[in-house]
Amino acid sequence: MSTPPKSTTPKTMRAFVLTGHGGMDKLQFHRDWPTPVPGSGEVLIRVHACGLNNTDVNTRIGWYSKAITKPTSDTAYGTEAEADPSWGGTPLAFPRIQGGDAVGTVVSAVEAGDQHLVGKRVLVETILRDWDDPTNLDRCGYLGSEADGGFAEYMTVHARNAHPIETELSDAELATFAIAYSTAENMMDRARVTAADSVLIPGASGGVGGALVQLAKRRGATVVALASESKHAAVSALGPDVLLPRSPDDLAEALQLATGSRTVSVVADVVGGEDFAARLDALQRGGRLVCSGAIAGPVVPFDLRTLYLGDLSVFGATILSPHIFPDLVSYIERREITPVLAATYPLEELRQAQQAFIDKEHVGNIVVTTA
Ligand SMILES: NC(=O)c1ccc[n+]([C@@H]2O[C@H](COP(=O)([O-])OP(=O)(O)OC[C@H]3O[C@@H](n4cnc5c(N)ncnc54)[C@H](OP(=O)(O)O)[C@@H]3O)[C@@H](O)[C@H]2O)c1
């Protein structure tokens, strides 16, 4: 593909802009938002598609605040969240373009050494780093939170966050991967999941949960998935060995009946909520819990005796180890994992897309496109 002259980039663009914390009315569509200008080390990307995530909702409603104890779906923004409403615990700068799951084509690069990226289709890595100190967790940000993201026609990002990808998947299919699958692969990596493991995955119908099923199977582990029964047909296509209801009356008994064992070696949890204690109890002695989310509620019963008497290990996982995203790109290119695209909406209908995302009748992920 040839390099388009910089002058072809319009000065303004279509963009959905978050103007503050609150309801859907805080998401405002503009047809004449200034097109961003790439800075030192950055590339300019024409965004084709961008996936939705709970972090868009959590950030908008201030759910990350320690003052909030309810599930994402039960939470409305209140003044109690003002001090610490973002994932990193610090107030956000508005206006902000959200969208951390961007796919697009690089239209220009600032540095001479990055010109090879121009014209390439790229999957954008969501974790923003200080590339002089890339493993410093205190110097990381999240695309769409600490910097503008992909709910717009154009975005800028550091060249090292723009990963060229060779695949026949559509832009919308590709836009389901970045956050959900990198989070899931990071969880598998933290818990060091291997073929010797049995992995319990709640929320397997969701973006991260469905990715966890595929990535645990990719490692050869035995997978026990939990999902609403109305979604079982779609989740079974992802290949779990056992599929149980979202909230079995007696999880240990359900595991015994389905697998012949009352326990598993790993729980990979992005759901939390009131069933969390039963999942912790389902870990075998020496088992590992890895957690990257809490959509059903962040404050859970946690019996410390279960932890120490069971010699359990607990991992929290948000910032990706630097090798995770390149690994993910290689899995996609080798067709070792598949996208689960539930629906696409035009960018202009982001609010409707986000309402469908919140309603949770879908399996996989929802994407907006900017054609
Ligand atoms: N740390 C990170 O970097 C990171 C990255 C991505 C996501 N996350 C977090 O991980 C969590 C899940 O993300 P996701 O993208 O997989 O979410 P999602 O696509 O919305 O899926 C969540 C799934 O959880 C299940 N669920 C169980 N109880 C629920 C409840 N009370 N309310 C809503 N859903 C419930 C639902 O499946 P069933 O109806 O089948 O039970 C649903 O499909 C969120 O809290 C998100 O913020 C964190």
Average pLDDT of 288-309? 97
Encoded tokens for 230? 């109305």
- For atom 13 of ligand 1, which residue has the closest CA? 208
- Report the C-alpha gap between 154 and 158 in whole angstroms: 14
- Report the C-alpha gap between 221 and 353 in whole angstroms: 34
Where are the domains positioned within the chain? Answer: 6-177+339-369, 179-316
- For atom 31 of ligand 1, which residue has the closest CA? 296
DSSP strand pairing (198-201 vs 264-269): parallel
- Stated pTM of the model: 0.96
Please give the angle made by the CA atoms of 213, 201 and 350, to the nearest 5 degrees.
Answer: 75
- For atom 17 of ligand 1, which residue has the closest CA? 206
Give percent of the chain above pLDDT 70.
98
Q: What's the pLDDT tens digit per position in 224-273?
A: 999 999 999 999 999 999 999 999 999 999 999 999 999 999 999 999 99
Determine the distance from the C-alpha atom of residue 183 to the mean position of all C-alpha atoms in its chain, rounded to a whole number.
6
DSSP string covering 194-257, please? -TT-EEEETTTTSHHHHHHHHHHHHTT-EEEEEE-GGGHHHHHTT--SEEEESS-SSHHHHHHH
Encoded tokens for 240? 């779990």
Q: What's the pLDDT tens digit per position in 43-97?
A: 999 999 999 999 999 999 999 988 899 998 888 888 888 888 889 888 889 999 9
pLDDT value of residue 86:
87
Question: Which residues form ligand 1's pocket by a CB distance below 6 Å?
Answer: 53-55, 58, 71, 73, 179-180, 183, 203, 205-209, 227-228, 231, 246, 270-271, 273, 292-296, 318, 360
The answer to whether 210 and 340 are in contact (CB under 8 A) is: yes
Phi, psi of 253 (to 5 degrees): -65, -40
| Cα–ligand 1 centroid distance for 211 (angstroms) | 12
Burial of 211 from C-beta contacts in 10 A (0-12 / 13-18 / 19+): buried
Identify the CATH assignment for 6-177+339-369 out of 3.90.180.10, 3.10.20.30, 3.50.30.50, 3.40.50.720. Answer: 3.90.180.10
What CATH code would you report for 179-316? Answer: 3.40.50.720
H/E stretch holding 31: strand 27-34
Q: Which atom of ligand 1 is nearest to the CA of 357?
A: 20
